[in-house]
Amino acid sequence: MPENTVVVGIDGSDSALQAARWAAAVATACGAPLHIVHAMPSFGRNLTETAAAIQAAIMSYQRDSALIFLRAARDAVRQDRPDLTVTTEASETPVDEALIEASRTARLIVLGGKDVTGAAAVLLGSTTLRVATRAECPVVAFRGDRVAVADKPIVVGVDGSDAGVGVLATAFEFARSLQVKLVAVRSWTTRAPVGDVTVPFLIDWDALEAAEWSALTDLVDEWRQRYPEVDVECVVETMSPGRALLRHAADAQLVVVGSRGRNALTGLVLGSTSMNLLHHSPVPVMVTRAAAD
C-alpha cells in the first residue's frame, strides 16, 4: 500500500459500503489512492463455549464472504469514481490490528459507522474506539448518509491543549484539500463547581468571554498564515463542548476532534466530548492525535 493512501475498513454492511464511497470522494479530493480492507471481527478473550461457537460461525461467514464484500465495495466506488486508483485486501488479522498497522503509512482511516455506546467504551471497546485511540493517522467514524464531498464546512473543536493544536492542524489540511470553509469552535461555560466561586456576581463574564475569543483567534491565526487559502470562521459558545460541536455539525460535512493519547479506558482517552460526538453526530467524525504525535 503506497504512503498517504486513504484506507477504509468494510464488513459487508450497508454503512460500510457508504463509508467506502465517502472515503473514495475524500481520496479523490486529496489526490490519494483508496485501499479497501476486509479483516476478521475482533472479539474479547475468555469467551464462554456458546460465545466461542458464535464467534467461530461469524468468522467463518466473514472469511467466506470477504471477496464478495470487497468486490461490492470496489464496484460501488468505481461506479462513482472510475478514475480513482482502488486496491483491495482480505486479511485474516483482527480488524482493529489490521487498520492500526495500516495507519502507520496511511493518510486517513475510515470506518463504517455503528453507534458507540458508553458500555462499549468502558467494558469491551469497539473497533472504532480501539482504532481511533491507537492509530497513527486521523481516523474517521462514518456517520450519516452523504457519500460525496459537499460545499459544507468542516467543524473543528479547539481547546488550546496539545491535542487541540493537532486537531486544528489536521482540520486546516483537510479543509484545504476539500476546498471548504473551516469553522473553529471553542466553548466555555458560566457554570462552575460548587465552592469554586463564592461571589459569582462579581465575576467579569464579558472579560472572560473576551479572553476565550483572544485565545481562539490567536491560535487560529497561526494556522491561517500557513493555510491562507482556507476561509476560517471562529465561534465561541457558552455551552459544553459536546453541545457546541453538535450544534454546528448540523450544517457541516465533517467534525474534527482530538484524542488524548493511549489509556486502558478508551472513554477516558477520547474524553466525553469525542465520545458524545461518536454516539450522536449526524455527520462523519474525525479523531486525530496530539500534535506531538
Could you give the CA distance from residue 109 to residue 20 in angstroms, rounded to a whole number? Answer: 11
Q: Do residues 96 and 170 share a domain?
A: no
Check whether 160 has a pLDDT greater than 80.
no
The CATH number linked to 21 is 3.40.50.620
Better pLDDT: 165 or 168: 168
Q: Do residues 150 and 292 share a domain?
A: yes
Classify 130 as helix, strand or coil.
helix
Element (H, E) at 287: strand 285-288
Tell whether 285 is covered by a domain: yes
Q: Do residues 85 and 159 share a domain?
A: no
Q: Do residues 165 and 210 share a domain?
A: yes
Could you give the CA distance from residue 20 to residue 87 in angstroms, rounded to a whole number? Answer: 12
Better pLDDT: 191 or 150: 150
Considering only CA atoms, which of 129, 113, 236, 108 is closest in space to residue 174? 108
Tell whether 78 is covered by a domain: yes
Last residue of a domain, one of 112, 138, 163: 112
Q: In the 3-class helix/strand/coil scheme, how is 64-106 assigned residue by residue?
A: HHHHHHHHHHHHHHHHHCCCCCEEEEEEEEEHHHHHHHHCCCC
Classify 16 as helix, strand or coil.
helix
Domain that holds residue 150: 146-293
Q: Do residues 161 and 275 share a domain?
A: yes
Q: Do residues 150 and 96 share a domain?
A: no
Q: Do residues 204 and 247 share a domain?
A: yes
Q: What does pLDDT average to over the chain? A: 81
Could you give the CA distance from residue 62 to residue 144 in angstroms, rounded to a whole number? Answer: 25
Q: Do residues 150 and 57 share a domain?
A: no
Q: Do residues 209 and 278 share a domain?
A: yes
Question: Phi and psi at residue 257, in whole multiples of 5°?
Answer: -135, 175
Contact 14, 69 (CB under 8 A): no
The CATH number linked to 228 is 3.40.50.12370
Q: Do residues 23 and 75 share a domain?
A: yes
The pLDDT > 70 percentage for the chain reads: 74
pLDDT digits (tens, 9 = 90+) for 90-111: 988 888 899 999 999 999 999 9
Of 32-36, 160-164, 196-200, 256-260, where does the model show the most confidence?
A: 32-36
Tell whether 127 is covered by a domain: no
Tell whether 125 is covered by a domain: no
Could you give the CA distance from residue 250 to residue 16 in angstroms, rounded to a whole number? Answer: 22
Tell whether 137 is covered by a domain: no
Tell whether 121 is covered by a domain: no
Check whether 24 has a pLDDT greater than 80.
yes
pLDDT of residue 122: 40
pLDDT digits (tens, 9 = 90+) for 206-231: 777 787 888 889 889 989 999 999 99
Of 80-89, 143-152, 255-264, where does the model show the most confidence?
A: 80-89
Q: In what order do the strands lie in the sheet with 139-141?
A: 86-94, 34-40, 6-9, 108-111, 139-141, 285-288, 254-258, 154-157, 182-187, 232-237
Q: Do residues 101 and 156 share a domain?
A: no
CA distances from 265 to 21, 24, 164, 281, 292 (A): 32, 32, 20, 22, 21
pLDDT of residue 72: 94
